[in-house]
Amino acid sequence: CIGVAYSIGMAGLVGGSLICVVTTLASVGGSMMLLDLRLQFRDCYTFGDLGEKVLGRPGKIWGNTIQLANFVLFLPVALLLCAEALEGVVQITAYKGCNDYYIFTIAVLCLLTTQARKLSNTQALSFLSLVSVLAMAALQIIAAVMYSNEAKVEALAFGNPEAHWLTRMSQALLGTTTAAWAYVPAFLTVELATCMEEPKQFNRSLALSGVLNVVVFLSVGFTVVMRWGYDVTDPITLTKVTAWEQGNWMNTALSVFLLIGNFVSYMLDSVPLARYCQKVWMPNFGDSWSTGDVLKYFACTLPTFIFGLLLSVVVPNLFVLLAITTALTVPWVTQIYPAVLYLRLYTSQQGAAARLLACAENDERQQGNSNSVKMATLYQKVRAYCVLLIGCVSFVVCLLAAIGKASITELRGPSQIGCGNWLIWSG
């Protein structure tokens, strides 16, 4: 939510809007295809399980790799964002501005959320996250109306007015990348559908979330960019306007909601990741809340937590890591992988055979349900191929954006390992 104005400013008022709508439609389409697959194979509970049903073991490895790699590599970024939000809420004098100390402080709470075990146990916090996102959107709009930007440069309809062509292109690509990772329902579609009594109803949730994403993206993006110009930073709190100065009530309020939102984001990534680790390392886990099982599950969550915490400290620039992670995982999970599985299952004879087997296992044939073995209609094929094409284009765009982010100094920003009295490297 705090990067949408940057996306609109760098990709252009019209260009950014079109990118948001197209990307959202493709992401919703990819998630709906995953839901169709999940309804077909009722014994699948994870992203990789679907891949195994459709493509065999290579499909499971592919699915687990792109999903879990994103979860693992996003953990340090989530810790950093939580730490920066915490610093915006309260400045601890003893830390002397060292961001790593804030990371260590918030990391303990993040580890505790991982113990939720199931996404069904996170409903209250997830609702709180939704409220936080809407509050952040409202605060940005209010700030744009109340405060002005003295260095305002008008935005363009397409692209941005950066002087150097390479910077101009890279900024536009990074704006597109923001739209790509801002809405990624496919990462948890299978897992969330598993938690529902009526998984078929999840289609409505996907449609509603897509509409909300576009509304928030465009309302915040347009308002802020029209008021402050194209050069809005990501995150927006780095934009040099009075609203985001330390001590301003607007900055404090936004930081509170940002802390809640990123805190829940960490939880939603770490919970399925921890569950996967438990299934691999302790397949016979009792899953009770006895002291022994609590300690065993806690032990399963420690390796990924320690790895994420270590990366948050030793990686010189976590936003470059985020750009690379986005390119290598987001288009694949949200569009490419779902489309490949869907086309394989619903347009090939091998897919028809797999669905017949699933029907037999679910006793659907005895109930007279023949829809499960029908081939995809022309509309369904066109939809799947469009999602696949958008995913491939998104991958190329995100990859080029990541290269620009890593190689152009002014886009990369400051990089360092350590801080304060134990600064190891700075560049």
Are 13 and 157 in contact by the 8 Å Cβ rule? The answer is: yes
Are 312 and 110 in contact by the 8 Å Cβ rule? The answer is: no
Residue 103: per-residue pLDDT: 93
CA 330/CA 184 separation, integer angstroms = 7
Residue 420: per-residue pLDDT: 77
- Please count the other Cβ atoms lying within 10 Å of the Cβ belonging to residue 142: 15
> 305-316: per-residue pLDDT in tens?
999 999 999 988
Q: How confident is the model at residue 353 (pLDDT cuts 50, 70, 90)?
A: low
Question: Considering the domain boundaries, does residue 18 fall inside one?
Answer: yes
Are 135 and 1 in contact by the 8 Å Cβ rule? The answer is: no
Element (H, E) at 376: none
* pLDDT at 60 > cutoff 70: yes
pTM for the predicted model, two decimal places:
0.90
Mean pLDDT across the chain:
89
Average pLDDT for residues 164-169, to the nearest whole number? Answer: 94
pLDDT more than 70, % of the chain: 94
Are 274 and 297 in contact by the 8 Å Cβ rule? The answer is: yes
> 175-208: per-residue pLDDT in tens?
999 999 999 999 999 988 888 888 888 999 999 9
Residue 370: per-residue pLDDT: 44
For the chain, helix (H) and strand (E) counts, in that order, are 16, 2
Residue 375: per-residue pLDDT: 76
- Give the alpha-carbon dihedral of 169, 175, 177, 180, to 10 degrees: -140
Name the nearest CA neighbour of 369 among 7, 21, 40: 40
CA 124/CA 172 separation, integer angstroms = 37
- Please count the other Cβ atoms lying within 10 Å of the Cβ belonging to residue 316: 16
Name the nearest CA neighbour of 21 among 187, 180, 243: 180
- Angle, helices 318-331 vs 291-314, to 10°: value is 120
Residue range(s) defining the domain that contains residue 189: 4-24+74-329+400-426
The one-letter amino acid at 80: L
Any idea how long the chain is? 427
Dihedrals φ, ψ of 426, to 5°?
-145, 135
> Look-up: residue for tokens 């620009």?
404
Are 394 and 180 in contact by the 8 Å Cβ rule? The answer is: yes
Question: Considering the domain boundaries, does residue 41 fall inside one?
Answer: no
Question: Considering the domain boundaries, does residue 372 fall inside one?
Answer: no
> 227-241: per-residue pLDDT in tens?
999 999 988 888 889
Question: Considering the domain boundaries, does residue 230 fall inside one?
Answer: yes
Question: Considering the domain boundaries, does residue 353 fall inside one?
Answer: no
Whole-number Cα distances in Å, 179 to 15, 35, 233, 273, 287: 11, 22, 14, 24, 38
Alpha helix positions (H), 56-122: 57-89, 99-113
Question: Considering the domain boundaries, does residue 102 fall inside one?
Answer: yes
Are 414 and 426 in contact by the 8 Å Cβ rule? The answer is: yes
- Total domain count, the chain: 1
Average pLDDT for residues 143-172, to the nearest whole number? Answer: 94
> Look-up: residue for tokens 């994103």?
70
Whole-number Cα distances in Å, 250 to 49, 143, 150: 45, 7, 18
Residue 351: per-residue pLDDT: 58
Name the nearest CA neighbour of 243 among 388, 146, 127, 350: 146
Most confident of the ranges 93-107, 111-125, 359-373, 396-410: 396-410
> Look-up: residue for tokens 């499909």?
59
Q: How confident is the model at residue 22 (pLDDT cuts 50, 70, 90)?
A: very high
Residue 368: per-residue pLDDT: 45
What is the gyration radius of the CA atoms in the chain, in angstroms? 22
> Look-up: residue for tokens 């607007």?
250
Q: How confident is the model at residue 369 (pLDDT cuts 50, 70, 90)?
A: very low
Q: How confident is the model at residue 376 (pLDDT cuts 50, 70, 90)?
A: confident
Question: Considering the domain boundaries, does residue 376 fall inside one?
Answer: no
Name the nearest CA neighbour of 185 among 132, 134, 126: 126
> 231-276: per-residue pLDDT in tens?
999 888 888 899 999 889 999 999 999 999 988 999 989 999 999 9
First CA to last CA distance, the chain: 29
Residue 180: per-residue pLDDT: 93
* pLDDT at 373 > cutoff 60: no
Question: Considering the domain boundaries, does residue 60 fall inside one?
Answer: no
